[in-house]
Amino acid sequence: MLPQQIRNFIDVFAKLPGIGPRQATRLAFFLIGSGKSKINEAARGIIDLASIKVCTNCFFIHSNEGSLCGICENPHRVQNIIMIVEKETDLMSIERTRRFNGRYLIIGELTKGGILDATQKLRMSHLKNIIGKKLDGQADEVIIATNPTTYGDLNAMVIKNELEGYAKKFTRLGRGIPTGGEIEFADEDTLEQALERRI
């Protein structure tokens, strides 16, 4: 019933987070109804994503010439305070507060089981190497910025255990963020308070 081009579009976009087959179908019809120029504009936007790189230090995205993102390249950032976040969107939310001037590590989305996957273990090893080589074996502070949920607390404990001995102190964001909330969706004032009241 549907042309193959639309079925292909639905198959691809239904796999994206928060979309699903019904939303992908609606999106296809919206784009078709918007005309060829809008379809071409959307296609260019997607193709341009292929030029995005991942920072070799913190794993945030960037489009710089070198291998480091703008945060890691910035010599004015505090090097020995490191915040560990799950997702890029968490980092972006923290950056919007303009209250944190340290460095980051994006560990990747954590499971509910409190077990780090192979990629996350590699990222932790990478961080340990950086701390060992550039910070004389210990960061002044590692802030574990996982979501304030039961699973976030469990994962924070796992991360802390992994990095034991690599920081003089470990802190968490203060509970300006309600239990069960997500960093990505917290407003700037709430995140500011969570940063200032970290424990």
Q: What is the band of 184 on the pLDDT scale with cuts at 50, 70, 90?
A: confident
pLDDT tens-digit series, residues 126-164 = 999 999 999 999 999 999 999 888 888 899 999 999 999
Q: Which of 157, 174, 163 is CA-nearest to residue 113?
A: 157
Question: Residue 192 has what pLDDT?
Answer: 78
Residue 157 CB-density burial (10 A; 0-12 exposed, 13-18 middle, 19+ buried): middle
- Total number of domains constituting the chain: 2
Q: What is the pLDDT of residues 2-50, one digit of tens each?
A: 899 999 999 999 999 899 999 999 999 999 999 999 999 999 999 999 9
Together in a domain, 90 and 139 = yes
Verify that 77 and 141 share a domain, yes or no.
Answer: yes
Q: Are 168 and 188 in contact (CB under 8 A)?
A: no
Residues 69 and 152 in one domain: yes
Backbone phi, psi, residue 172, to 5°: -120, 160
Structural element, H or E, at residue 38: helix 36-48
User: Are 40 and 67 found together in one domain?
Assistant: no
Q: What is the model's pLDDT at position 152?
A: 87
In this structure, the answer to whether residues 112 and 167 fall within a common structural domain is yes
Q: Which domain holds residue 36?
A: 4-51
The residue that leads in pLDDT, 134 or 177, is 134
Q: Is the pLDDT of residue 180 over 80?
A: no
**Average pLDDT in the 49-75 region?**
94
Q: What is the pLDDT of residues 65-103, one digit of tens each?
A: 899 999 999 999 999 999 999 999 999 999 999 999 999
3 state SS of 138: coil
pLDDT at site 178: 67
How much is the pLDDT for 147?
A: 86
Is residue 179 very low, low, confident or very high in pLDDT (cuts 50, 70, 90)? Answer: low
